[in-house]
């Protein structure tokens, strides 16, 4: 058997770090390819799986190798309370683009237009996975597979299609851009093939995205409140889509 430390050192630069039990659990559950997984206490990790995730316990038993705590700690930026870490293969851009472009679509694509906060982007990917969105596209310079975004996404990058694209290359479908000045979202039934776009934390929607939008939609918010947090806005809009209703 190949030494996990050797495998880790070979793959770390080109793989997705799964930091902690929950990230590994989600990634395995949603079909990630995991070439190496380590735990400082393998028996305790499998007991946790028995308690919290029996569906992946056998898979984890096959993947996990026990290493000394210092070795585990040397693999991660900051030790996680569960002392579990793994490396996963990033899904190919081609396969993600195919999922994003596929029609007819049964759930919206979320677009984050030039997001700046990596934690926000991770929270949005977690939300999108939870509500069954087709994918999350970012525009701008942030890599949505940056380790900090992956940490915020709790391993759920593997449950939805996550890619960076230019505004001119967004997936097909009616483009609804969320903006406090838009029409009240409660009067609109969001279709399953919607592309739902959200602006940057600092500057809102870019002129390019605004120009492309079919409609601007606003979330209910009382006067004198300027805006919601980006991830909160995505949660409200996706929840509205999931209810499948319009009418105030
Ligand atoms: C933190 S806000 C951006 C605030 C920014 N200062 C601006 O000028 O718009 C981030 C994004 O969340 C969405 N958002 C926040 N509050 C909203 C609301 N009440 N209605 C619709 N979208 C909202 C928009 O897409 C917005 O661009």
| DSSP-assigned letters across all residues of 124-160 | HHHHHHHTT-SEEEEESS--TTSHHHHHHTTTGGGGS
The rounded distance, in Å, linking the Cα atoms of 192 and 23 is: 28
CB atoms within 10 A of CB 146: 13
CATH superfamily of 93-243: SPOUT methyltransferase, trefoil knot domain (3.40.1280.10)
Ligand 1: which residue has its CA nearest to atom 1? 201
- The domain limits of the chain are 4-88, 93-243
4-88 CATH fold: 60s Ribosomal Protein L30; Chain: A; (3.30.1330)
Ligand 1 centre to CA of 199 (Å) is: 6
Closest ligand 1 atom to Cα of 180? 20
The rounded distance, in Å, linking the Cα atoms of 59 and 115 is: 35
CA 26 from chain centre, in angstroms, equals 11
Helix or strand run (H / E) with residue 28:
helix 21-29
247 token code pair: 């009418």
Ligand 1 centre to CA of 196 (Å) is: 13
Ligand 1 centre to CA of 151 (Å) is: 24
Closest ligand 1 atom to Cα of 205? 27
Which residues have any ligand 1 atom within 6 Å of their CB? 178-180, 198-199, 201, 203-205, 218-219, 221, 227-230, 233
pLDDT score recorded for residue 245 = 81
Ligand 1 centre to CA of 12 (Å) is: 36
Q: What is the pLDDT along the chain (248 residues), one digit of tens a residue?
A: 679 999 999 999 999 999 999 999 999 999 999 999 999 999 999 999 999 999 999 999 999 999 999 999 999 999 999 999 999 999 999 999 999 999 999 999 999 999 999 999 999 999 999 999 999 999 999 999 998 999 999 999 999 999 999 999 999 999 999 999 999 999 999 999 999 999 999 999 999 999 999 999 999 999 999 999 999 999 999 999 999 987 65
């Amino acid at each position: 058997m190949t030494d996990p430390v050797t495998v880790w050192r070979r793959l770390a630069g080109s793989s997705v770090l799964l930091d902690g039990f929950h990230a590994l659990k989600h990634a395995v559950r949603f079909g990630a390819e995991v070439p190496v997984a380590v735990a400082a206490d393998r028996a305790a990790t499998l007991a946790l799986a028995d308690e919290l995730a029996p569906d992946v316990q056998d898979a984890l038993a096959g993947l996990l190798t026990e290493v000394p705590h210092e070795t585990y700690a040397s693999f991660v930026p900051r030790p996680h309370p569960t002392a579990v870490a793994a490396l996963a293969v990033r899904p190919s851009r081609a396969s993600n683009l195919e999922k994003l472009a596929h029609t007819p679509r049964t759930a919206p694509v979320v677009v984050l237009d030039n997001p700046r906060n990596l934690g926000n982007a991770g929270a949005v990917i977690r939300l999108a996975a939870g509500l069954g969105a087709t994918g999350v596209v970012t525009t701008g310079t942030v890599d949505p597979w940056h380790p900090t975004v992956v940490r915020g996404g709790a391993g759920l990058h593997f449950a939805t299609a996550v890619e960076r694209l230019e505004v001119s290359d967004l997936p097909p479908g009616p483009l609804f851009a969320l903006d406090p000045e838009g029409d009240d979202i409660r009067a609109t039934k969001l279709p399953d093939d919607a592309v739902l776009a959200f602006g940057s934390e600092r500057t809102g929607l870019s002129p390019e995205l605004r120009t492309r939008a079919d409609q601007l939609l606003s979330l209910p918010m009382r006067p004198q409140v300027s805006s919601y947090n980006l991830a909160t806005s995505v949660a409200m809009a996706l929840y509205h889509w999931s209810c499948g209703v319009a009418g105030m």
